Structure formats: structure tokens, C-alpha cells
Structure 1
Amino acid sequence: MKLLVVAIALSALITFQSVAQQVSLNKVAVIVDQGVILESEITALVDQVKRNAKANNQDLPSDRALRTQAIEKLVTDNLQTQMAQKMGIQISDPQLDQTIAGIAANNNIPIEQFRQVIANDGVPFEVYREDIRKELITQEVRRANVRRRVYITPQEIENLVKLIDEQGAEQAEYNLGHILIGFPPQPSDEDIEKAKSTADKVLELLNNGSDFTRIAIASSSGSKALEGGDLGWMNINSMPTLFAEAIQDKEKDALVGPIRSGAGFHILKVKDLRGIEVVKVEEVNARHILIKPSVILSEDKAKQKLEEFRKQIIAGEATFEELAKEHSADPGSAIKGGELGWNDPGIYVPAFKEALAQLETDEIGQPFRSSHGWHLVKMIGKRVDDATDKRKEDKAYQLIFNRKFAEETDAWLREMRDAAYIEVLDSPTDTVGS
């Protein structure tokens, strides 16, 4: 009987300690305007930082310092979550699933294996999933509030493009192949004409696919003939001016010449280059109809609507343009019959870009989901364009934007935090059962 009483008492003590621990973890640790941060959230974040540090063999400061840093991060996250609620920003389950599938794909891991990897790190997949949802919401809030604070002038872009060009000129290196069809030191007109004729024939052979190295070994009078005419990597400022002027703006595998000098006629091949960004991009022009799910229109209904549109277009009962004008939720393209214009596919969200890659000209794809909603797409056409100059401008714009966005984000977060009511409550030692 005595043993039974002891067992009951011990069981009660264990139960009380368990409840005390649960109360401790679930108590409110920080008040943030209209929201709160729980002790369990702080503990989970600190534990995550410790796991990451252990995996990377990193030293960490004291637990008190970690707790302070964790609270600061959770405060800013909480403020942004409250902002998202006021703005009505939400991330649907299909958007979330698509994002996580993209993360797994970028890591070349099947989604089921990816779930296991997350679990092996000690994080329940549902917890990870909701963390990604919060991160996506935070990104949307920042974009909406900070983007309008960033202003970039055309002059800023132009100045940076010039700087990139100057740096490129200094770094530009070419791997050149060289064939010299020589003539005597004091050539006659006949010597020059004969050499020119031979050089023209060599160039014709090369343009028809003959091997440069083989012809250089066989025909070149240059000092590197036995190496197949390979001059190696040369800075544009270290090569003969005659060569530098001839190969500027030339692309990989370009043949240049014949170029006359005092030694004869030169034929050059740009075997490779580095330090220069030469960009050829495939641009696409497509039409799309966007249907956004809502409280009234479910995900399935939105998809079914587009499937019906596709059947109508194929059957000749309606045109893509008519349906886009009447039904598309993308106002910018709807007024143009859904036409998006010629663009680099890279500007679109991953799901849209991937869908475009699967389509041939005039083909209408199956409805698919992106972060914007459900789409029906028709490929109008594809073309390859030299986008080097545009890419330089885009690169300059993006570099400036990233810098300014980061600066403005920091300023916006500071302003939001300074305007908020924040109260840190009792430390974790002042808990039930302590």
C-alpha cells in the first residue's frame, strides 16, 4: 500500500513537472504591438542556430547572447507578419507546395527524399513547411513596402555600364589560333598576290569546316605553327594592335582575316574568350490567360475553367485573344489578347518559365499553377537575340537595385521597430516549477 502511494505521488510529480515545462515553453515571452512571441518560439530558434553551428563546426556566443539575437529576429518577423495580415497577404497551400518542390528540385532531390532530409535535421516537415510559408509572406511584405522606396536613374545605370565595360576591357583575354601565310621581306606584286590567294583558299577551307590546327601545322609560317597555331591566352592590350583591332567584339569560334602585315597575311580564330560577357538569349512571345482562385472560385474550378477554354479554342468555338480579353486576371496583357511580347523567359516565375520551355510555336499547353494563379499559355514564337548590351544594362540595374533594396529594407525595418510597442517579459528562469 505504501509503495502504491509513493508511485502515485511520483506520477503526480512527473505530471506536474511535465505540465510546468509545457507552461514554461508556451508562456508569452515578448509582446509586440498586437502580437506575441512565445517562449517555445525562442527556444526553437536558438536550437536551430545551435544545430547549424554544430554541423558547420562553428563556435557560438553565450546562450544569453543567442537568446537576445533570437528575440530581435522574432520581433522583426512578428512585425512583418502583422503587416502582412493588415495588407491581406497570404500564401496558399498550392503556392507553398510548389515552392518547396522547387527547393527540392534545385537540390536535385526527389520531394519524398527531401522530406526525409528535413526530418533527419531534427525538424518536423510540417514545421519546416510553415517556416517556408512565413518566409514567403515576409518576402512579399518587404517587396510591397520597400520596392517603392527604391529609385534608380538612367544616369546611374549608364555610369555603372561604363564602369563594367572599362573593367571588362582590362580583363578581356582571348585564346587565339593563328595562321600566317607569309611572303618575302621585300615582296613583289606577284608574291603578295600569291600569298593573298593562298590565304583566301585557307579561309575558305576553314569556313567549310576544315580543322584549324591541322591547317596551321601544314601551312602556317608563324612561330607557333607546330603547336597548331595556338597563341595561348592573350590580354587584348598585350597582343599586336593589328590583332586587337580585328578581334574586338568577335565571338567564340569567329574566324578573322586575312589581315595584311609586313610579314604576310594573317588568319585568326577566337578559340575562346574570358572577361567579356557576350550573351545570346532565346526570347519568346506568348499569350496567356490568368485565372486567380478566390473564396468564390476554388483551385479545381479555376483549373477546370481553363481546360474548358482550351477545348473551345481547339474546336474553333472561340479565339485565345477573345477569351483572354474577357476572362484574364492579368490586366496588362488582357487588353492585348493575352500577348506578353518578346521577352527572355528568365523574367518569369519558375513555373511559367518551365511551361514555356515545353511549348512549340502555335502550341497551347495544359493549364498549370504558378504563384500568381492558374495559367493557360499559347506559344506565339521563339527567336535568338544578341542581348549583350541589354544584359549589361539589366546587370547594372540589378546591382544598383540589390544595393538600394538592402539599404532601404534595413531602414524600413528600423523605422517599423522604432514605432512599435515591444515589451520583453520575465526571463525563462522565472517559470512555473523553477
Structure 2
Amino acid sequence: MKTKLTDCLRPLLLGAVLLTGTAHAAVQPLDSVVAIVDNDVVMKSQLDSRVREVQQTIAKRGGSVPPAGVLDQQVLERLIVENLQLQIGDRSGIRITDEELNQAIGTIAQRNGMNLEQFRAALARDGLSYEDAREQVRREMIISRVRQRRVAERIQVSEQEVKNFLASEQGQMQLSEEWRLANILIPTPESANSAQIQAAAQKAGELYTRLKSGADFGQMAIANSASENALEGGEMGWRKAGQLPPDFAKLLSSLNVGDITQPLRIPTGFIIIKMQEKRGGGGATMRDEVHVRHILIKPSEIRSEAATQQLAEKLYERIKDGEDFAELAKSFSEDPGSALNGGDLNWIDPSALVPEFREVMASAPQGEVSKPFKTQYGWHVLEVLGRRATDSTEQAREQQAMNVLRNRKYDEELQTWLRQIRDEAYVEIKLPGADQAAQ
């Protein structure tokens, strides 16, 4: 069933803009206030528009629409909470620029496989104007930023929580890599003697040799495997690393896509496994690091830009003439984080550095001092002491665990915060037939 574009625009079910009167106001009912929300109001036109959209969504899904009075109150409560968040955004100075809004609209259109003109036409078919769509997206972006500021900042995840999650069965299962595997099983009898075991091992070895020589794995499985999936070419489907015995998981994690294992002894015989595909889990994450030291000279009220450059050039010449880099850094460098260590920044990820520093560092031969160069911090000379690639897989896993825990806490904290701002707000409901509430 085709998804309406209004659903794509409004994952938070943000409401349509206020519907104003027309030239036919004399024959149309006047708009009215249905709720006072702190310093703002919710209008009947907003409520009616949202109710219609919810009814259409429910009908499209084949559900039963609640009675009008019940639905009105549910939708009104949602509009009240959204209104409160928009007011917080306004007081916090959160603004969405036209450029940001245009970029967001363009992204939504692209996700739906359309250009902007096609997107406008599709909106019209769904009964929503382009201007209303922009307003909905703007409101959603404001609310998203409010939540990030007010909710995300309340979330703390400790190192111990991360360690506990990584050590837990749930954490290992959730973060483990997934593999699509195929297998060939050469069985042994339940109470096999040594001769039977040796015969099965020999056959498995012969199959392994043929597979390594280019034989088709699926055909070999169909012809030789005793596994229940033999007729499917040995296909085992997707398996998470955390679902497999540790010894198997360790072995398979070292395979590349297309690789096969040597015959492995298992209780029911010998098995050969092929790595068909991999996904998730992060895999090995390599990061380039550079060991570098530098001297920083900053311009000041008593030292001009030209004088700063001149001093950096003099220090460069002194180092080239044989003076000790570290001693000069201790005496002259104005980088408080490294000066006392002879300018040593230790091993550092280049992405953490400003572009000018990173570019000079990348082109500098190891063991040679760079000519003076300028960044936003002042004038530098640097020396690259070493380069290496480090395995940051464990760091990546810790970051994944951190993200999982933060998202979990965010969902819980969001509901708490929404209830809190609703309870603390002044809300007077004026919807006919609804209970009056004032705080």
C-alpha cells in the first residue's frame, strides 16, 4: 500500500499550521480556542486538521477509529505537549534557517525518489500544500533540537555501565557481527570407531582440497553433505556471532567473505563452513595515528603577527643548526598542554587536529622539522616522530555500547521529561465536553 507523504513529513505527528478564514467567512464557523497553554493557545482549526489526518491514517491501516470525543481529547493532548516544546524552543532562541529547512525538504524528497517539483505535486495529491509541509518540518526540527538540549544533556552513561553491557549476554548478542554461512557435513556414526572417524576425516579433507581448487561449494554440498540444508547448497542463513560457540565465533571472525574453513571436528562428524556474507558488528577498525611534537608561538598585544612569524623562523633555524627541539619547546612554546613535555603531543589521531596542522604533518617526512606555518592558534614548527595504524575495534565496540545505552536511556528520559513539562505548565482546556484542567 502506498505511504502518504504526510506520514514521511511527520514522524512525531506534528500538526498542520493554523487554518485562517477565507473570503466566505460569513458562511463558515469562526475559529476558536480549544486550549490555553502557558503563553500560547491551540485553535479549533489545528485540532480539526490533526484529527482528520489521524482518522485518515487509521483508516488506511484498516483500524477502527475511536469515538469522536475520545479521539479529540487524545489529539488535543498531543498538540498541547507539542505546543509546550515549541514554546521552550522559542524561549531558548532555537531558530531554523531557510537554508536548513530547504535542505531538510530536499532530503525528504530524495528519500521518496523525487525532485522538488515532483514532491510538490505529490503533496498536493495527498491534500497538503508545500507551505504547510515546510511548516510541519520546521516545527519538527525545533522540537527535535529542544529534546536534544533538554533531554540528551540529562543522560549519563558510566564506564562501568558500558563494561557491564559488553560483558552481558544481551550486549554480546546485540553487538555481535552477523554472518551468512553455508556448510558441508561429513557425518560419523554415533559410536564411531577410529577407522570410521579416519575415513570421514579423509573424505572431508578431499572435499576441502577440491573446494580450494575452485569446486562450487553449493554443488559439493548437494552431492556430499549430510546436513539437513544440503539440498539448499548447505545454506545456513544469517547467524550472529554471539549465537555460536566461542571457538567457532573466533575462527569465523578471521574469515573474509568467500573463505572456507578447514574441516572441523564436531560431535556429529566433520564440517566445512563457507563465509558467504558479513554485516554489522563493526569488524576490525583501524585508525592512523601520528607521533608528533611542535612549538607554538602566538601573537599578542606586545608581539605583532610579523614578529611572531619572525620568532618561529628563528627557532626553526636554531633547530636546523643542531639545537635540541625539546629544550627550545620548553623555553618558547606557548602550548600549555605540550610545552613542559618538550612539545610532544604523543600519538594523536590526525582528524583531531585543525586542517592546516594536519596537512603539514601529513606531508612532513619523519624525523625532519617543518618550516614555520600558521594556524588559527599561531605559528608552528613540527616534527613527525612516527606513524602507525592501530586497531581501535575495542573502542568502536565501546562506542556502540555507549550509543545503545544512551538511546535506551533517552527513550525513558524523554517520557519522564514530557510528563514533567506537562505537569508544570498552565493548561486550560476549552474543548466542549472535555474535562477542564488548569495548573
Q: TM-score range by the shorter chain?
A: 0.5 to 0.7
Checking the alignment, whether the CA contact within 8 Å between 1:178 and 1:230 is kept in structure 2 is no
Distance 1:113 1:388, change over 3 A: farther
55, 59, 71: which one pairs with 1:54? 59
TM alignment of 1:109-124, pairs within 5 A = 109-124=114-129
400, 422, 434: which one pairs with 1:417? 422
Secondary structure of the equivalent of 1:257?
A: coil
Deviation at 1:143, TM superposition (A): 0.5
Secondary structure of the equivalent of 2:407?
A: helix
Residue in structure 2 matched with residue 279 of structure 1 by the alignment = 282
TM-score normalised to structure 2 length? 0.55
Distance 1:165 1:203, change over 3 A: farther
Deviation at 1:121, TM superposition (A): 1.6
Residue in structure 2 matched with residue 19 of structure 1 by the alignment = 26
Checking the alignment, whether the CA contact within 8 Å between 2:218 and 2:234 is kept in structure 1 is no
155, 160, 171: which one pairs with 1:155? 160
249, 254, 265: which one pairs with 2:253? 249
Aligned CA-pair RMSD: 5.2
Distance 1:72 1:412, change over 3 A: same
More helix by share: 1
267, 274, 278: which one pairs with 1:270? 274
Distance 1:139 1:340, change over 3 A: farther
Deviation at 1:40, TM superposition (A): 1.5
Residue segments in structure 1 that go unaligned for 5+ positions in a row? 1-14, 286-332, 342-360, 363-383, 430-434
Secondary structure of the equivalent of 2:428?
A: strand
Residue in structure 2 matched with residue 176 of structure 1 by the alignment = 183
Deviation at 1:45, TM superposition (A): 1.2
TM-score normalised to structure 1 length? 0.56
Distance 1:56 1:217, change over 3 A: closer
Residue in structure 1 matched with residue 236 of structure 2 by the alignment = 233
Distance 1:387 1:45, change over 3 A: farther
148, 159, 170: which one pairs with 1:164? 170
136, 144, 150: which one pairs with 2:141? 136
TM alignment of 1:72-91, pairs within 5 A = 72-91=77-96
Report the Cα distance in structure 2 between the residues aligned to 1:243 and 1:278, rounded to whole angstroms: 17
Secondary structure of the equivalent of 2:354?
A: coil
TM alignment of 1:3-402, pairs within 5 A = 18-19=25-26, 21=28, 24-25=30-31, 27-161=32-166, 162-164=168-170, 167=173, 174-177=181-184, 206=211, 209=214, 211-212=216-217, 231-233=234-236, 244=248, 247-251=251-255, 252-257=257-262, 268-272=272-276, 277-280=280-283, 336-338=353-355, 392-402=397-407
Secondary structure of the equivalent of 1:109?
A: coil
Residue segments in structure 2 that go unaligned for 5+ positions in a row? 1-21, 188-192, 289-349, 364-388, 435-439
Distance 1:335 1:248, change over 3 A: closer
**Total equivalences in the alignment:** 313
Report the Cα distance in structure 2 between the residues aligned to 1:390 and 1:284, rounded to whole angstroms: 11
Amino acid at match of 2:107: G
Distance 1:388 1:268, change over 3 A: farther
What are the superposed Cα offsets for residues 335-382 of structure 1, whole Å, 9 maximum, x if unpaired?
8224899xxxxxxxxxxxxxxxxxxx99xxxxxxxxxxxxxxxxxxxx
Report the Cα distance in structure 1 between the residues aligned to 2:155 and 2:49, rounded to whole angstroms: 35
Distance 1:159 1:173, change over 3 A: farther
